[in-house]
Amino acid sequence: MNDALGHRSSGSIAQMLTPPSKKSSISCSVPSLELRRISKRFGETQALSEASLVILPGEIHALLGENGAGKSTLVSIAAGRLAADSGQILRGGSPVSFRRARDARDAGLALVPQHDLLIGAASVADNLSLLDPAAPFFESAPTRRARVAYLAEVFAFDLGDADARVDSLPVGTRQRIEIAGALAGDPEVLILDEPTAVLSPDETAALFASLRRRADAGGAVVLITHRLAEVFAGADRLTLLARGRSVKTCRVSETTPEEIGGLLIAGAEGAVEKKEKEGEKIFLEGKENGVAREDAAVQAERLGAPGGSFTLEEKRRYRNLEVSGFAPNVASVVRAESVSLSLSPGELLVLLAIDGNGADTIARAIAGLEGFSGRVEVGGVPLPTSGDPLAFRAAGGAFVPADRREEGLVAGLSLSENLALPDPPGRIFLDRAAMQARAGERLVAFGIRAASSAALAGSLSGGNQQKVVLARELAQRPRVLVAVHPTRGLDLASAAAIRSRILDACRSGSAALVVTADPDETQLFGAPLRVVYRGRLSAPFAPTTPVERLSRLMAGLAA
Amino acid sequence: MKRESTARHLAVAATALLAAAAALLGLALLAGASPLDALRSLAEGAVGSNAALGETLARATALVLTATGASLAFRAGVLNIGLEGQFLAGALAAAAVGPLLSGAPGLARAGLLVAGALAGALWVLPAAFLEARRGVPEVLSTILLNLVAAAAVSGLVRGALRDPAGDYPQSRALADAVRLAPLVAGSRATAAILVALALALLVALVLERTPLGLKLRATGLAPAASRAIGLPGARLRLLAFTASGALAGLAGSLEVLAVTGRLYDPFSAGAGYTGIAAALLGGSHPLGAAASALFFAALGAGSSAMQRDTGVPGALATIVPGVLVLAVLAARARLTPKGA
Amino acid sequence: MSGFLVVALLLAAPLLLAAAGELLLERAGSIQIGLEGTMLIGAFTAFAAARSGAGPHAALLAAAFAGLLAGTVFALFAVAGRADPILVGTAWNLVAAGGTAFAYQLFAGATGSVLEVKTLPTLVFGLPAAVLATFLLPAVLEVFLARTRPGLALVAAGENPLALAAAGRSVVTVRTAASVAAGALGASGGALLVLTVSPTFVEGVTAGRGFLALALVVFGRWKPLRLVPGALLVGGATALQYRLQAGGATRIPYAVFLALPGLLALFALAAARGRGGAPKALGTPAP
């Protein structure tokens, strides 16, 4: 196993750093790794139910699935980071059990997880030494540099200057350092959790080239990704997970992006619910016609603005949201560039994107939670580019974050207290009566199920928490509502309720920008949409665009 | 500094009190005294007479205020470990300004207290600046400011503030007319304790019953959510930070005004640190913190009597608050499910 | 060597030793602001051992052992128990200050007389071997952190604990080891004080040196070798102040000497970019 870097007690660096050998001894019929009927539960959530995965030697195997399908959980179990509730792991045909990450590593499995594994303040050479399980107790600087040079050469990776601080390097280089670190132990099975999420197209191509060399040498590669284009360009086989189950495994050559795209979406929704959703769609379409297309001037007039012809200044004033030449300042390769969009009263725009394409950071930056360059105006008021949530709100903005537990609510405060923020009533003392009244009214209006308005926000279910967030955000009749994945993880009834609240708000003059990863949701909103892929916004599409076409666009395939 | 439900907090407090009682009895046994005698002597020394009660209340004044300050900061999510330094800054200001103030005693007292509160608030500002601008944890900077304040007291009572008439390095005494008179003859308790308790009540009201208090609590409980909701987090933190500094500074000036009458070195017996312990024991609620502070003060007053009567060293009064805090932390760790 | 220089080095050594231990713990991602308490425990243990018939070297060892225990207790609460290290440290100072005062009163009885202990024998230049070793320690730590495997793991625990956990290593183990080492070094620092310059124990004998050592770590921006100039500066300033006091010339503002380390560390923080080199995960609980 450690033929590359394991035996370094004697001999020169060149000697101990021999290239990995081709593992011809392993028969192709015996899988390198097999996960059989793995189940795992986290509290209320069944993350995996009898999911299976078979990895053959010499292949690049793509693991696909929507967010929350259980991909990361499955590979964490394979790598010994998590213990499965039930199921079996076979390595080279014989059952194994991993109690710790080290056991999996010793068995020749390496996982590069999604989160950052490097020490920013240390050099490339130091980081790679730390990632090498066979590194000796003491190591001189030249030996560490030699490791960098060796790994760079063997895997044809540009790892940057060995003495450079890692936090000074571009994200693509950091990604390669992490992968090189995992490869240093010469694992037979290399598992990469969304390695391409932060890479540019060129970097992605380089990564796939080196993974292919790895597979040709007999190693197995498991790759989690959201990008179908990559899968069809670079992988040999794929396994699709949906709601914790493995729903399809096949050779890439035996299927098409359309089929997999369709399965991905169907899997995310579930067949029965899909039908219900269609029913809901018909119901909503009856009600919603025309709302999204209401003319800005008409809307402005209805809101009491002067009628007749508008000057440019006036038009700008009655634009609820105006974004131009905009780019969020976030440290990621996939970031939006030069975004322009504008919303008038009553308008709703859906940004449709697979996670990691920059749609959520666009929304966060508009809401003032990230800095940005370019121009953002809410109701004609320009917002500071440093990112200021207070300015966004003062101009009439409202925001529903993706992470409702971390950013949406104060879990340790009661419902009435949460609903009273950010400007609680009362001159000297809190007007508890007003708070209770407001909370009571909101609980009923939004159908929030809670014991009382004195219940802690943290004690509510996810769907009810999201309704509380929306109830608070819509209380001030915002000019613009920015909502990120407002229905993610909610049951069907809650999701429908959330959507109809957002549409209600638009009907009474607000504008809304909704980020979602679910193409069906755009139809349910009945609003125009733009697809975000790698930070680029597509031209607007009608809500009636077929889901198949949308999922191709989301995956970066030509429509 | 999250607050837990009342029931859970009571369970934690009960565990802690048990640990403290065990420590008390164990130490008494270690010192070769009968635990019962030691306890009786402790109780009598703390609350057994007017004089004893007066001693407890006199000691409690500074503790109640620093504990209130700590609670206010903790609830807003500010780890102000610099209460000791802010206390000393307040005492220093009182000692510097006190002898200069003439005229009506009431006016002089007010000036002295304002100077103390101001000095305490000012002593926070370098830490607040470093935290806001550089992301330097307030814990580090406030510890450093404690050192500087202790050094300033030590230096100034030997230098600029030294009483030329005295043999010891200490500042000039306040005029007797300015100093607070005892509430009851033969007792050391003054109106200062009433001021301290009133302020604890006021801070409790602000935190629990006012719009500002709700915003402060939200910021402390969930900084990320508060930012997204649109609360001015930085400003709220600064407000809580300086207000807690002002409370500690006021404690320092009240100590000079009501108890010592002058500044000497070392001046503080750890009021800032014991105040933090009291706040933690009281669940960072100003009233709970004040009650804990009264308890610690009683322990201090009682242990002096205990040492005199039974020979058990009075240092016990410093050990027990520490043990209590450790017990609270351990009980919380046990009562909190992993990953929560 | 001149008497002044010897005194300066003797005064710098306890600070340097304690600061070196604290640096290890902080680089591992935890922080013990109760270092003052640990130094007091070391000072008292050395004093009690020496008064009970142990030689000065044995007394130093006894103090180091007490420090091991102190570091273990701290780690139980703040590392394994994941309690806030700041609160544990605050409580620790109270327990240690009270505990050593309590123990001293039991040990020495009510006698008002000063109980002296034998100091460490000098090796060269009027300095004991332990003091000389103390000045070598930062270089050793520098190599340890930069070039060894456990050193790298320790840095990882302080910078990116998730990464360490992902590599299958236990952050709790690494931080506990650092805490134990920090306890031993801190207590030895307290013992050095009693076994060299002030050969007796009084309540609060460390006189804030634990806090000074915390300041030195910040001033040295968490780099072992950078602790040395700070420690020498403070040791020299204290020695100078002793000499001036002995000469009767107390005109130089005494406060300047005392406030120096704290002020220097504050300026170092203010002048540095970012957090001044503080470990990224300083004070955060282990994953």
Model confidence over B205-251: pLDDT tens digits?
999 999 999 999 999 999 999 999 999 999 999 999 999 999 999 99
**Chains adjacent to B (≥3 CB pairs closer than 8 angstroms):** A, C
CB C54 within 8 A of CB C226: no
CB contact under 8 A, A119 and C163: yes
Smallest Cα distance from C280 to chain A, Å: 9
Write out pLDDT tens, residues A230-283.
888 889 999 998 888 898 899 999 988 878 877 876 665 543 344 344 444 433
DSSP conformational letter for A196? T
Write out pLDDT tens, residues B130-154.
888 887 888 888 988 998 999 889 8
What torsion do the CA atoms of A80, A82, A86, A89 make, to the nearest 10 degrees?
Answer: -20
Which of A545, A527, A550 has its CA nearest to residue A284?
A527
Q: Contacts of residue A98 in chain C, CB cutoff 8 Å?
A: none
H-only helix segments in chain B:
6-30, 35-47, 50-75, 83-97, 105-134, 138-156, 192-209, 211-221, 223-229, 233-254, 271-281, 286-310, 316-335
Strand-by-strand arrangement of the A536-537 sheet: A397-400, A480-484, A511-516, A348-352, A529-533, A536-537
Can you give the pLDDT at residue A452? 86
Write out pLDDT tens, residues A512-523.
999 988 887 888
Q: Is C53 helix (H, G, I), strand (E, B) or coil?
A: coil
Counting residues of chain A whose pLDDT is more than 90, the rounded percentage is 31
CB contact under 8 A, A407 and B224: yes
Of residues C149, C150, C156, nearest to A119 (C-beta) = C156
Counting residues of chain B whose pLDDT is more than 90, the rounded percentage is 52
Can you give the pLDDT at residue A302? 40
- Whether chain C has a CB inside 8 Å of the CB on B105: the answer is no
Burial of A330 (0-12, 13-18, 19+ CB in 10 A): middle
Least confident of A223-237, B3-17, B272-286: B3-17
Secondary structure (DSSP) of A398-451 = EEE-S-IIIII--TTSBHHHHHH-SS-S-SSS--HHHHHHHHHHHHHHTT---S
CB contact under 8 A, A390 and B224: no
CB contact under 8 A, C278 and B140: yes
Smallest Cα distance from C271 to chain A, Å: 19
- In this model, does residue A406 exceed pLDDT 90? no
Can you give the pLDDT at residue A44? 66
CB contact under 8 A, C149 and A115: no
CB C231 within 8 A of CB C27: no
Smallest Cα distance from A22 to chain B, Å: 43
ipTM: 0.88
Q: Contacts of residue A130 in chain C, CB cutoff 8 Å?
A: 149, 152-153, 156, 167
Q: How remote is the C-alpha of A209 from its chain's centroid?
A: 25
CB contact under 8 A, B211 and A389: no
CB A467 within 8 A of CB A498: yes
CB contact under 8 A, A369 and B218: no
- Whether chain B has a CB inside 8 Å of the CB on C116: the answer is no
Burial of A151 (0-12, 13-18, 19+ CB in 10 A): buried
Angle at B139 between CA B136 and CA B145, to 5 degrees: 95
B/e letters for C170-182, b = 16+ CB within 10 Å, e = fewer, are: ebbbbbbbbbbbb
B/e letters for A408-427, b = 16+ CB within 10 Å, e = fewer, are: bbbbbbbbbbbbbbbebebe
Q: Which two tokens stand for residue B262?
A: 């002058």
CB contact under 8 A, A115 and C280: no
Q: Contacts of residue A81 in chain C, CB cutoff 8 Å?
A: 166
C64 against A324, higher pLDDT: C64
Secondary structure (DSSP) of C228-243 = HHHHHHHHHHHHHHHH
Predicted confidence band of residue A284 (pLDDT cuts 50, 70, 90): very low
Cis status of the peptide bond prior to A136, with omega within 30 of 0: no
Q: What is the spatial distance between Cα B182 and Cα C182, in angstroms, rounded to a whole number?
A: 48
Output the 3-class SS for B93-118: HHHHHHHHCCCCHHHHHHHHHHHHHH
Q: What is the spatial distance between Cα C36 and Cα C204, in angstroms, rounded to a whole number?
A: 9
Mean pLDDT of chain A: 80
- Give chain C's end-to-end CA distance (angstroms, integer): 51
Can you give the pLDDT at residue C58? 95
Of residues C147, C150, C166, nearest to A117 (C-beta) = C166
Which of B109, B69, B81 has its CA nearest to residue B286?
B69
Of residues B79, B313, B318, nearest to C94 (C-beta) = B318
- C-chain residue closest to A133, CA distance: C167
Task: Please name the residues between 113 and 172 in chain C that touch chain A, using a CB distance below 8 Å.
Answer: 146-150, 152-153, 155-156, 159-160, 162-163, 166-168
Strand-by-strand arrangement of the A220-224 sheet: A109-112, A189-193, A220-224, A60-64, A237-242, A245-251
What torsion do the CA atoms of B34, B35, B40, B41 make, to the nearest 10 degrees?
Answer: 70
Smallest Cα distance from A144 to chain C, Å: 9
Burial of A71 (0-12, 13-18, 19+ CB in 10 A): buried
- C-chain residue closest to B2, CA distance: C84
- Whether chain C has a CB inside 8 Å of the CB on B159: the answer is yes
CB contact under 8 A, C168 and A140: no
Which of A255, A247, A257, A187 has its CA nearest to residue A222?
A187
Candidates B326, B328, B335, partner chain C, best to mutate (most C CBs within 10 A)? B326
Which residues are within 8 A (CB) of A369 and not within 5 positions of it... i.e. 6 or more apart? A387, A389, A399, A401, B227, B228
Instruction: List Cα–Cα distances, A94 to A38, A56, A74, A479, B148, in angstroms.
Output: 16, 14, 19, 62, 66
Q: Contacts of residue B225 in chain A, CB cutoff 8 Å?
A: 406-410
Which of A303, A284, A314, A285 has its CA nearest to residue A508?
A303
CB contact under 8 A, C159 and A120: yes
Of residues A369, A410, A430, nearest to B209 (C-beta) = A430
Q: Is C245 helix (H, G, I), strand (E, B) or coil?
A: helix
Question: Please, how many CA atoms are within 13 Å of residue B67, restricted to the half-sphere of its CB?
Answer: 35
Which residues are within 8 A (CB) of C190 and not within 5 positions of it... i.e. 6 or more apart? C14, C18, C38, C39, C40, C41, C42, C43, C44, C46, C63, C205, C206, C209
Of residues B141, B319, B333, nearest to C98 (C-beta) = B319
Q: Is B325 helix (H, G, I), strand (E, B) or coil?
A: helix
Q: Contacts of residue B233 in chain A, CB cutoff 8 Å?
A: none
Which of A341, A264, A338 has its CA nearest to residue A517?
A264
Q: How remote is the C-alpha of C134 from its chain's centroid?
A: 11
Of residues C82, C94, C258, nearest to B151 (C-beta) = C258
Q: What is the pTM of this model?
A: 0.84
Smallest Cα distance from A406 to chain B, Å: 6
Q: What are phi and psi of A60, to 5 degrees?
A: -105, 115
- In this model, does residue A10 exceed pLDDT 50? no
Longest dimension (CA), chain C: 62
Can you give the pLDDT at residue A315? 53
- C-chain residue closest to A130, CA distance: C152
